[in-house]
Amino acid sequence: MHADESAPREAPVPAEGAGVSFVMPVLNEVAYLERAVETVLAQEVPGPTELVLALGPSTDGTTQLAEQLAAQDERIRLVANPEADIPRGLNLAIAASTLPTIVRVDAHSELSPGYTQRALATLARVGAANVGGVMRADGRSPFQRAVARAYNSPIGLGGGAYHGGTREGDAESAYLGVMRRAVITEVGGFDESIRRGEDWELNLRIRNAGYRVWFDPALSVTYWPRESWVRLAQQFRATGAWRGELVRRFGRRNSLRFFAPPVLVGFVVLAPLLAILQGAQLVTGWISIFASVVYVPVALYAVAIVATALGRGGGKGWRDKIWTVAVLPTMHLSWGWGFVQGALAGAGDTVDTSRLSDRNTPLP
């Protein structure tokens, strides 16, 4: 029996007013950083707070902006993250912080008012080691709004709780996460050999240690997705590759929903290949009829994409809807292809190259 299948251990609860450390890895986020920092510093928390920014080697002026923000507020501290890896940056920021509860924040995100207070209350109420809420994706351009709609839709990212769950309870992982430092120290922090999916792997170790990871739908964070088609594909291919790596390492500890995109890739590859063979009369008769079943999931998928684009909440105009038709397959197929590569050969040195761009110009 795994430790997470027995009665959960109670995570230590710091004294009231002990304070909170916010940690944020940052790379090429000049268009989003200031607002992200504002929503962190606006959190009402009993006791002291600090925000530690782990700065990667940005090329768009992000470092200079971070230095300006730190000069304006003594609660902001800066640490260098020259390798730019997210788990390394998180570990550096946690090591530089001092308070007993850690709140992970993304530079592409904005915390809702009352987020931290609610999370602290939930942590204490259920004795959890980590609690997370809902990612509310949003967009500023038709393309980014289409990506946000895909994030928020069950068809977009597989229906994980943090993409729209409504029932509070035990969770596989937590989006961003509000965590007890003592537990993070006990399980060894973030695994720096995992460049994507590091939060899922950390939460796996937390659960294996017997602690509870909790989902609270009353918590919400606004997330701003990638701003261009190319960067979106780069992001999802890298994420898929690392999920494939996690499957290599942990097998069926991964949820079945992670296997849907690579299965889709298989059908998308097989369908046109079969059409060519049938057109050349190389596959005929009952074999051809039986093999034609591969067209069914592809057709159903196409119908689902169009229905999602044309359905309620389809955006502010026709451009949003057209981009939705393009965005969903881009996300699924990029992720699925990356997964196949990661599962077969490992993720290796795969990085999310979309984060290396120094341009943040939205598509029209």
Q: What is the pLDDT of residue 317?
A: 80
The dihedral through the CA atoms of 318, 109, 197, 30 has a sign that is positive
Class of domain 3-227: alpha beta
Angle, in degrees to the nearest 10, between helices 318-345 and 260-279: 100
CB of 205 closer than 8 Å to CB of 183:
no
Mapped onto helix, strand or coil, the DSSP state of residue 203 is: helix
What's residue 211's pLDDT? Answer: 97
d(CA 131, CA 301): 34
**Per-domain boundaries in the chain:** 3-227, 249-353
Q: What is the token pair recorded at 32?
A: 């989003």
- Give, rounded to a whole angstrom, the gap between the first and last alpha carbons of the chain: 53
For the purposes of burial, counting CB atoms within 10 Å of the CB of 209, is it exposed (0-12), middle (13-18) or buried (19 or more)? middle
The number of beta carbons lying within 10 Å of the beta carbon of residue 17 is 9
Q: Please report the pLDDT score of residue 364 as a whole number.
A: 36
pLDDT of residue 110: 95
pLDDT per residue, tens digit, the chain (364 aa), is: 344 456 789 999 999 899 999 999 999 999 999 999 999 999 999 899 999 999 999 999 999 999 999 999 999 999 999 999 999 999 999 999 999 999 999 999 999 999 999 999 999 999 999 999 999 999 989 999 999 999 988 888 765 555 566 789 999 999 999 999 999 999 999 999 999 999 999 999 999 999 999 999 999 999 999 989 999 999 999 999 999 999 999 988 888 888 999 999 999 999 999 999 999 999 899 999 999 999 999 999 999 999 888 876 555 688 888 999 999 999 999 999 999 999 999 998 888 887 775 444 443 3
Please tell me the distance from the alpha carbon of residue 128 to that of residue 131, in angstroms, as a whole number.
Answer: 7
Query: Judging by DSSP bridges, how do beta strands 20-26 and 178-180 pair with one another?
Result: unpaired
The whole-number pLDDT of residue 310 equals 86
pLDDT at position 361: 41
Q: For position 4, what pLDDT does the model report? A: 44
Dist CA 92 CA 98 (whole Å): 12
Buried b (16+ CB within 10 A) or exposed e, 37-73: bebbbebebeeebbbbbbbbebebebbebbeebbeee
Closest CA to 187 of 156, 210, 170, 157: 210
- Residue 282, CA atoms < 13 Å, CB-side half-sphere: 7
